[in-house]
Structure 1
Amino acid sequence: MAVAAAVHHRGYLTSKFRSSSPPSPPKIAAEIRGNTTPPPPISISTNPAHVNLRHLRELYAICNHSCHRFPTVDAAGRVEPVDPAKLHTAVSHSSVVVSAFTKPEFVTTQSSTPSNFIGVGGDWISRVAAPVTPENGRLIGFGRAVSDMGFTASIHDVMVHPALQGRGIGQMIVQRITRMLTSRDIYDIAALCNDDERLFFRECGFGYDVLGSTTMTYTRSASKNEPMISAGRRLLLVPPARGLTK
């Protein structure tokens, strides 16, 4: 799951929505259709220090989530791995980072049976009974927001481990993000949604922009004399040299 990133319930407040769907498989629809099974014990952290980038990259891969609006997708429908250096930069420059953890024992496989509930005796019971913390838990959900910390913000990369989607964890993440932003008197919170994500964000309290705003993407075509570079997904203009007159 992933939002815009996509993932499960809840997202940004009213703002701009885009109907074009990314190539990656829908991740939010399953959360909304879902599963009324309650979530396992969850620990929610807003401390960026609790984000292990290696574990976060693994979550991106498990959720088949890309940070790019136009990701490269292979024949199997898998998006390209997230660039670790860019991910570090993105997280470090995010205004709000929310991570969700649970005990590894609660992360299921395709079935509803916890994959690690094997064996006899009470050892697994004691492990499950201990409080979940970022230190003893497994990263199973994530979301972040970028803001000018004065007026506006946007939410990105909301995702939940596929084995735990449909249990409201994505909603918890978005609620925590919006709570942190609104506590700082920031209410203009945006979500870029594809068709599969709109229901999720509506369930999270988002709606169409009352001002009728439309998101526009920079698509300027280069002239024959303007150099282009390949960005993997698209051809982009080479930034102009500094100091040129406008």
Structure 2
Amino acid sequence: MAVATAVHGGYLPSKLRPSVPSPPKIASEIKPNAARPPPPPPPILISTNPVHVNPQHLIQLYALCNHSCHRFPTVYAAGKVEPVDELKLRTAVAHSSIVVSAFTKRELVTREYSTPAEVTSFVGIGGDWIRKVAPVTAENGRLIGFGRAVSDLGLTASIYDVMVHPSLRGRGVGRMIVQKIVRMLTNRGIYDIAALCTDNESQFFRACGFGDDMLGATTMMYTRATSTDSKDEEMISAGRKLLLVPRPRELSK
């Protein structure tokens, strides 16, 4: 009977036709160009005080993001890069010209992924009201984003180690970090700003306003593999380093 009613309903005037909810669209019917609105950003504190960065928490963020300070890190079988050296990380942060860190409510990162509905319910009124409306601070929040810049404080600067907690990516946190770094550099009159990034990261930096060098310059990295005319020296690999050492001498007969 339900089927017959649905069929005959098509002959009724439009005002008398029963409202039948349209079935949900399957994946093949969804247009690929249909832009979905980005999820709302969580409550964020952006800090430029290096004192707010706990080295242990920063090491944990490196591990969660699977980010390495080395350009050629050791990669284990599971795809994880080697842990960052705490002493070297402390030294790098201490000597960075600008350090930007991002914090949010700890409850937003207790799960692997937080949906927009969870973010909305968290910042709404109800339950533990004081905890929900309290502003994010470096003391009560959790470190979920980081970035730093190295500069001569006069002419040039480079941006490194921009990363965001995996569960909060795609919400504009990384862009806020980069924009803060760029704003602080340009306020000092520094406009020659570079970002050393991989191909996967290049799209993110393009969205932040970076692009190919207008002068056509190409970044070159020192590898120590310089040519030498000396026949008494050769290059050997020592971990990540290439060392120039004397060749073993042949014994005279």
TM-score of the aligned structures, taking structure 1 as reference length: 0.75
SS at 1:75's partner residue?
coil
Match of 1:171 in 2: 175
- Residue 55 of structure 2 corresponds to which residue in structure 1? 53
Partner of 2:209: 205
Match of 2:147, SS? strand
The counterpart of 1:122, out of the listed 100, 116, 127, is: 127
For 1:61 and 1:105, the matched residues in 2 are separated by 20
Q: In proportion to residue count, which structure has more helix?
A: 2
Query: Once the 2 structures are TM-superposed, how far is the Cα of residue 173 of structure 1 from its aligned partner?
Result: 0.2
Matches of 2:193 and 2:36, distance apart in 1: 26
Shift of the 97–82 alpha-carbon distance from structure 1 to 2, 3 Å rule, reads same
What does residue 96 of structure 2 align with? 94
Q: Residue 135 of structure 2 aligns to a residue in which SS?
A: coil
Judged with a 3 Å threshold, the aligned counterparts in structure 2 of structure 1 residues 85 and 238 are, in CA distance, closer, same or farther, namely farther
* Higher-Rg member (1/2): 2
Query: Which whole-Å CA distance do the structure 2 matches of 1:199 and 1:34 have between them?
Result: 19
Give yes or no for the alignment of 1:215 onto 2:219: yes
* Pair 1:54–1:227, CA change in 2 (3 A): same
**Residue type of the alignment partner of 1:64:** N
Q: Which residue of 2 aligns with 1:143?
A: 147
1:185 aligns with 2:197: no
Measured at CA, do residues 141 and 238 of structure 1 come closer, stay the same or move farther in structure 2, by a change above 3 Å? farther
Q: Relative contact order (alpha carbons < 8 A, sep ≥ 6): 1 or 2 greater?
A: 1
The CA RMSD over aligned residues, in Å, is 2.4
List runs of 5+ in structure 1 lacking aligned partners. Answer: 1-32, 240-246
> Which of 67, 76, 81 is the matching residue for 2:83?
81
Structure 2 letter corresponding to 1:202: R
Pick aligned residue for 2:243 from 227, 237, 240? 237
CA distance in 2, matches of 1:97, 1:70: 23
One-letter amino acid of the structure 2 residue matched with residue 221 of structure 1: A
Q: Which runs of 5+ in 2 are unaligned?
A: 1-34, 246-253
**Pairs aligned (count):** 200
AA in 2 matched with 1:48: P
Distance in 2, matches of 1:110 and 1:133, equals 22
Contact 1:105–1:128 (CA under 8 A) maintained in structure 2: no
Q: Is the 8 A contact 1:59 1:139 kept in 2?
A: yes
Structure 2 distance, partners of 1:34, 1:230, is 50
- Alignment of 1:225 with 2:233, yes or no, is yes
After superposition, the C-alpha distances for 1:121-157 in whole angstroms (9 at most, x for unaligned) are 823x421210001111100000000000010000000
Aligned-residue offset at 1:48: 0.6
- Deviations 1:21-50, CA, capped at 9 Å, x for gaps: xxxxxxxxxxxx997111110001000111
Q: d(CA) in 1 for partners of 2:168 and 2:220?
A: 34
Query: Measured at CA, do residues 78 and 192 of structure 1 come closer, stay the same or move farther in structure 2, by a change above 3 Å?
Result: same
